[in-house]
Structure 1
Amino acid sequence: MLTIGDKFPQFKLTAAVSLESMEKAFQDISNETYKGKWLCVFFWPKDFTFVCPTEIAEFGKLAKDFSDRDCQVLGASVDNEFVHLAWRRDNEALKDLPIPMLADVKRELSTSLGILDRDSGVSKRATFLVDPEGTIRYVEVTDMKVGRKPSEALRILDALQTDELCPCNWKAGEKTIQVK
């Protein structure tokens, strides 16, 4: 699995981005789309499941907070863009989702990252924070049955962006550790 200090792999994937119209429903997204920004890229195992929409909706609720920190949130699974679109239409919590849902149908990005589950053939529940130079600065992978806490990724982003030493449970606005 790729980890902190590794370069995030190159990718170009189709994403479901809007329910407004079929003409605006999909967009190709690559590393170049948000060049110069931080990325929060999170993966879930499957669409039309139970834990996944709770996380996706929560990342969606925090999208503006991430954006305020010059960070684009991207969600991804191995489902195709049409399944993503159908799920957004079907699930009330996902209808107004403000983040792209990437379709890693060839499983290339999940495989490159090392998060493709060998037994099930789906992406593990993983989160990556990637700096503007494309370097992975944070990785979290949880058990497929356990949802993560998206606000923790936001807290970690805040800490990383201070470029200082941050103690346990540090929150934005608190003092960092000053070494003399």
Structure 2
Amino acid sequence: MLTVGDKFPEFNLKATVSIESVEKAFFPISNTTYKGKWLLVFFYPKDFTFVCPTEIKGFGDLNAQFADRDCQVLAASTDSEFVHLAWRKDHKDLRDLPFPMLADTAKRLSSALGILDEEEGVAKRATFLVDPEGVIRFAYVTDGSVGRNPQEVLRVLDALQTDELCPCNWKQGEETLKVA
């Protein structure tokens, strides 16, 4: 699995960005679409499941806070853009989702990141914070049955953006550590 310090792989994927109409629903997104911004790319195993929508909604609820920190949120799975669209239309918590859902149908990005569950053929529940230079600064994977904490990912982004030493449980606005 790629980890902190590694370059995030190049990608060019179809994304579901809206449920307004089929003509406006899809948009190609690449690693250069949000050049100069931080990226939060979180992978989840499958659409139409149980834990995944709780996480997607959780990140959606914090989207404005990520945007305030110049960070673009991107959800991703190995499902197609059409399945993403159907799920968003079907699930009330996903209809107004404020960020794109990437369709890694060829499984190239999840394979390049080392997060493809070979047995299941789906992406693992993985999270990456990528700096504006394309370097992974935070990575973690949880078991498929355990949802992640979007607030913790935001806290880590805040800490990374200080370029300071941040102690355990540090929160934005608190003192950072000073080397004597």
TM-score range, shorter chain: over 0.9
Report what 1:173 is aligned to.
173
Q: Partners of 1:90 and 1:75 in 2: how far apart?
A: 17
**Aligned-pair distance for 1:162?**
0.1
Helix, strand or coil at the partner of 1:94: coil
Report what 2:82 is aligned to.
82
Which consecutive residues of structure 2, in runs of 5 or more, have no partner in the other structure? none
What is the correspondence of 1:1-180 to structure 2 with a 5 Å cutoff?
1-180=1-180
Q: Partners of 2:151 and 2:17 in 1: how far apart?
A: 22
Q: Partners of 2:61 and 2:89 in 1: how far apart?
A: 17
**Aligned-pair distance for 1:21?**
1.5
Q: CA RMSD in A?
A: 0.4
Q: Partners of 1:34 and 1:63 in 2: how far apart?
A: 15
Helix, strand or coil at the partner of 2:59: helix
Superposed CA offset, 1:119-149 (max 9, x none): 1110000000000000000001000010000
Query: What is the TM-score with the length of structure 1 in the denominator?
Result: 0.99
**Aligned-pair distance for 1:115?**
0.1
Superposed CA offset, 1:52-76 (max 9, x none): 0000011111111000000000000
Q: Partners of 1:118 and 1:152 in 2: how far apart?
A: 28
Which consecutive residues of structure 1, in runs of 5 or more, have no partner in the other structure? none
Q: How many residues align?
A: 180
Query: What is the TM-score with the length of structure 2 in the denominator?
Result: 0.99
